[in-house]
Amino acid sequence: MTPRRQSGRAPVTSPASATVFTTVLTQGPVSRVEVARRTGLSSAAVTKAARPLIEAGYLTELDSEQTGIGRPVSPLEVRADREFFLGIKITDSELIGVVTDLRAQILVTRFHRLPSRKPDAVVSGVAEMAAELLALSPKYTKRTNSLGVTVAGDVDREAGHVRYSPFLHWQDVQLAEPIGEATGLETTVDNDVKAITVAERWFGDGIGAPSFALVTLGTGIGCGLVVNGAVVTGSHGVAGEIGHIPVAGDGPLCHCGATGCVEAIASTDAIVAQARTATGERGLTMAEIVTRARTGDQALQRVFARAGVAIGRGLAAMANLVGPERIIVSGEGLDAYDLFADELRETFATHAFGAAAQCELILRPLPFEEWARGAAAVAVQTLFIS
């Protein structure tokens, strides 16, 4: 399929216009004077940058309001329905897809089973889901240009290339180009946790925090970092891999080849494996393990306690190195938080050095569709990144 023309897209043609647009997008409605104050741009520069965005329908002026002595102001606001974005998260067994508006608010969600992990089958599945989402409304078909796709693992976003994805069993898979050809959409591929971090930075608990971290607990343990207002990727795209911080020298072997990693002790799969070993029951499920631990099974309680210590050490190491203002802890693994909360917090407090221990811990569930919302937030970024 031929990529669709990018006509009518936001006229973000300079650093100033990108700054004004992102400020109104994430903090609006906000007056030009306030945009100038927050960004350091002159009032004239703000007005010049805002004008083409208003003319193109991406920004709108609200009714004038009197804020005190002086002239009334007309706050700027984003027209959230001016453009729509698709986000698709690839797991080892399904695709989670959403349509969002400019503010990454989810409008539609779809779940598709993934019959095969082979790259060609995944590309076909993503294309089918994208076509289904677009067909839900004529306005989606007309005003959607960008698709964000996320996977767990080591992703080279610039090249659209998945270097390694443990749960898909992929090595060196080119993904963005074939998906773009199949869908006709401008396609960006990114690591799933880094994508959610983008969503948090612009639209969630990261708003107003120059530095924060997002840690996800579940099948894997991931971390996205924002430092000085920017998502940190590192020179090789793997910054923030808290799951592979070694926290136990004699710990179990990790799928990465090292031993004693946080993920090898505290991921869902690791907890299940340790629980089965502790009980000798090879068929135990995570749900059964959680239930039995909550009803007093001490062997299983020790498994969760060990996981809490490992996570606490990983969080403390990251806080000591980066010094974030807050750490947001989320993911499906948080459902069992009551079983390792004390160990996590006590270990963090013990190992965080000095003022790093004052870092705020925010605990919040992560519905599965939020992974796809993160992918859509990456697509929103294409308005600002050439």
Pick from 48, 307, 86: nearest CA to 186 = 86
Which of 29, 60, 78 finishes a domain? 78
Tell me the residue length of the chain.
386
pLDDT of residue 352: 92
Does 107 reside within a domain? yes
4 domain residue, yes or no: no
pLDDT at res. 72: 56
**Percentage of the chain with pLDDT > 70?**
95
Residues paired with 323 in a beta bridge: none
| Confidence (pLDDT) at 1 | 53
d(CA 115, CA 123): 12
User: Domain of 130?
Assistant: 84-198+370-383
Q: In what order do the strands lie in the sheet with 230-231?
A: 230-231, 221-227, 212-217, 326-330, 360-363
Q: Is residue 295 located within the same domain as residue 356?
A: yes
The Cα–Cα gap between 59 and 232 comes to: 29
Which domain CATH number covers 278? Answer: 3.30.420.40
What does the angle CA 272 – CA 274 – CA 278 come to, to the nearest 5 degrees? Answer: 115
- Spatial distance between the Cα atoms of 296 and 334, rounded to a whole number of angstroms: 19
What would the pLDDT profile of 32-44 be if each residue is shown by its tens digit? 999 999 999 999 9
Residue 1: inside a domain? no
Band of residue 249 on the pLDDT scale cut at 50, 70, 90: confident
pLDDT(93) > 60: yes
In a domain, 7, yes or no: no
The fraction of the chain above a pLDDT of 90, given in percent, is 68
Is residue 247 located within the same domain as residue 176?
no
* Whole-number pLDDT of residue 375: 97
Prediction pTM value? 0.86
Give residue 368's pLDDT. 86
Average pLDDT of the residues in 270-281: 95
Q: How far apart are CA 187 and CA 181, in angstroms?
A: 9
58-67, 149-158, 182-191, 249-258: the lowest-pLDDT one? 58-67
> Are 215 and 314 in a shared domain?
yes
Do residue 211 and residue 325 come from a single domain?
Answer: yes
Report the C-alpha gap between 195 and 215 in whole angstroms: 12
Instruction: List the CATH number of the domain containing 48.
Output: 1.10.10.10
Token readout for 11 is 């006229």
Domain co-membership, 63 together with 211 = no
Residue range 65-93: average pLDDT?
Answer: 82
pLDDT at 371: 93
Tell me what the mean pLDDT of segment 77-93 comes to: 95
* 271 and 320 belong to one structural domain: yes
- 192 and 307 assigned to the same domain: no
Residue 349 lies in a domain: yes
In terms of domains, do 31 and 169 share one? Answer: no
Residues forming beta bridges with residue 25, ordered by sequence position: none
Look at residues 78, 107, 128 and tell me which one is the last residue of a structural domain.
78
What token pair was written down for 350?
């013990």
**How do residues 112-152 score in pLDDT, each as one tens digit?**
999 899 999 999 999 999 999 999 999 999 999 999 999 99
Confidence of residue 250 (pLDDT cuts 50, 70, 90): confident
CA distance 333 to 195: 19
Task: Characterize the bridge pairing of strands 94-100 and 360-363.
Answer: unpaired
Asked if 189 and 258 sit in the same domain, the reply is: no
Domain identity same for 31 and 52 = yes
pLDDT number for residue 357:
87
- Looking at the 3D structure of the chain, how many domains does it have? 3
- Same domain (yes/no): 94, 109: yes
Per-residue pLDDT for 71 more than 60? no
Sign for the pseudo-dihedral over CA of 317, 321, 196, 208: positive
The domain boundary residue, chosen from 78, 105, 122? 78
Average pLDDT over residues 256-277: 93
Q: Average pLDDT of 67-94?
A: 84
Under the banding of pLDDT at 50, 70 and 90, the label for residue 219 is confident
Mean pLDDT check: name the lowest of 113-117, 137-141, 167-171, 364-368. Answer: 364-368
End-to-end CA distance of the chain: 22
Mean of the per-residue pLDDT values for the chain? 90
Mean pLDDT of the region 74-85? 93
How far is residue 268's CA from residue 271's CA, in Å, rounded to a whole number? 5
Phi, psi of 357 (to 5 degrees): -70, -15
Tell whether 89 is covered by a domain: yes
- Is residue 178, in this structure, part of any structural domain at all? yes
- Does the pLDDT of residue 2 top 80, yes or no? no
Same domain, yes or no, for 109 and 194? yes
